[in-house]
Amino acid sequence: MRVVHWRYSWSSPETIDCKPRSVTPTHRNLRICAVLSAVVVLSAQPARAETRASGWLADYDRLFGQFSKSVPGWRPEAPATGSLLFVASDQYTVMGLGPNQHREPRVLYAKALFDLAKQAAEAGQLSLAFQWATEAVRENPDHADARRVLGYEKRDDKWLTPYGARMAEAGKEWHPTFGWLAAADVPRYEAGERLIGKRWVSADEDAARHREMKNGWQVHTDHFLVTTNHSLEAAAELAARLERLHQVWRQLFAGFYLTENEVRRLFAGERQPRKQVRPFRVYYHKDRSQYVDALRRRQPRIAETLGIYFDDVGEAHFFAADVATAGPAVVESTGGPPVATLYHEAVHQLFQETKPAAKRIGELANFWVIEGVATYFETLREHDDPVAGLYFTVGESDAGRLPAARERLKDGFYIPLAELTRLGKSDLQRHAEIAKLYSQSAGLSAFLMDGEHGRYREALVRYLGAVYTGRDDERSLSDAVGESFSELDDQYRRHTESLP
């Protein structure tokens, strides 16, 4: 038996599926340095025994608030619900450093963030540790310890991903339009030529050679191998977007693929203990008709879908969509898959393939969380502010299926967790109220990720780990969070009703 995940194309929201350098300090500079020096002292306090996320978030909020007041406008406002996240700059995502006058306070802020991240790692708050290490790199791209934790290597004064370092050794660099190219080839590519073997041809001739998916263009990045018969440009843009998604997923679910001990050793000075053996394979079809024709035999209902992940062969498939209907955060120059679908299916792939997974996950119980966490990622939004730069929000109450989850509660629809966790894959997918169950699963996942000040996030990660390794049973969620199902039901209802 194989597990297939897909998104239907129906339009309903319930679709299935400070030491200054030699400068004369101004009054403002002195105030900034004084505030951030105090912040550094705050984060350098000995790690406390408190392991709940709320205590660490309170320290972070003080850091965040003090820095925001000192450097107005540079930091985006935190959303009222959900999480604010950043990604580290690298070859796939190039970000500016911001105004020069803010450089020194940002370096101090990065130091404070990383110190706090180390303490969070010691306390078992792995998600927060990775979030803050990533944010430290945003504030100081040369923070060596944070870069090491995230797996970067320094070559010729540039911070590169492991695959980027291999490409650099081969004489290639990442081009945002064309992917990996030899530096000498860039001008000819930008002039419209393409290299096939050792021969230069026109872009039209190159396109003709890649018309069929079996001969499609391929773009390889650190974590993904994108194959497409759309265009080389589309493959490069999609691969870069998926790498940003991977950065976000890595922060939120660090404890899914690393143990607490491995994370502690990382923050203590070691390098990443594991290397990905095989890239996540993604196929990007030129249009819907080619997507349907290619996959109909494997999934008879493929025409109803916007994207699909086949876990038995480790393949995610999407097709180019009309930009006007695909949402605001799409591959705008080439058209792209609807972003909610892209994130949903890619997250299935990340959980399934990042580490060895059991066969038939969720077959007998707990299938709701497999779909719930994927629908949670449908709320992921990418923002590019002219001042604050690139950042992400996830879990906002007005995004994805979360508004529908609230409406279901208002309508009196709710399956108690004691019953929901007993549903296996076929039970849920054949349920008469499957669309409502997907919305409820999204709401529950958002609650466990972000509700109660993140109190249950690490427990949710442990629960997902049990499900994906086949070590789960009907009590796994309750055991992981340390609360009864009835108490969780009540907390979810209060949380959802309190949302703005």
- Inside any domain, residue 492: yes
- Inside any domain, residue 341: no
Last residue of a domain, one of 135, 155, 175: 155
pLDDT in tens, 156-205: 999 999 999 999 999 999 999 999 999 999 999 999 999 999 999 999 99
Report, as an integer, the average pLDDT of 209-213. 97
Q: Give the range of the structural domain holding residue 126, as residue numbers without chain letter.
A: 27-155
Last residue of a domain, one of 122, 155, 188: 155
Judge whether residue 42 has pLDDT over 50. Answer: no
pLDDT band at 97 (very low <50, low <70, confident <90, very high): low
pLDDT in tens, 384-403: 988 888 999 999 999 999 99
- 3-class secondary structure per residue, the chain: CCCEEEEECCCCCCCCCCCCCCCCCCHHHHHHHHHHHHHHHHHCCCCCCCCCHHHHHHHHHHHHHHHHHHCCCCCCCCCCCCEEECCCCCCCCCCCCCCHHHHHHHHHHHHHHHHHHHHHHHCCCHHHHHHHHHHHHHHCCCCHHHHHHCCCEEECCEEECHHHHHHHHCCEEEECCCEEEEHHHHHHHHCCEEEECCEEEEHHHHHHHCCCHHHCEEEECCCEEEEECCCHHHHHHHHHHHHHHHHHHHHHCHHHHCCHHHHHHHHHCCCCCCCCCCCEEEEEECCHHHHHHHHCCCCCCHHHEEEEEECCCCEEEEECCCHHHCCCCCCCCCCCCCHHHHHHHHHHHHHHHCCCCCCCCCCCCCHHHHHHHHHHHHHCEEEEECCCEEEEEECCCCCCCHHHHHHHHHCCCCCCHHHHCCCCHHHHHCCCCHHHHHHHHHHHHHHHHHHHHHCCHHHHHHHHHHHHCCCCCCCHHHHHHCCCHHHHHHHHHHHHHHCC
pLDDT of residue 66: 79
- Inside any domain, residue 69: yes
Q: What is the pTM of this model?
A: 0.89
Last residue of a domain, one of 155, 180, 215: 155
Report, as an integer, the average pLDDT of 240-250. 98
pLDDT in tens, 254-292: 999 999 999 999 999 988 766 777 999 999 999 999 999
Nearest to 442 by CA among 349, 338, 368, 363: 368
- Inside any domain, residue 411: yes
pLDDT in tens, 100-137: 667 888 899 999 999 999 999 999 999 999 999 999 99
Judge whether residue 22 has pLDDT over 60. Answer: no
pLDDT of residue 322: 54
- Inside any domain, residue 349: no
Number of domains in the chain: 2
- Inside any domain, residue 224: no
Structure tokens at 131: 């979030």
Quote the mean pLDDT of the chain: 87
Q: Percentage of the chain with pLDDT > 70?
A: 85
- Inside any domain, residue 438: yes
| CATH number of the domain enclosing 421 | 1.10.390
pLDDT of residue 480: 97
Report, as an integer, the average pLDDT of 61-86. 85
- Inside any domain, residue 185: no
Nearest to 174 by CA among 166, 184, 164, 161: 164
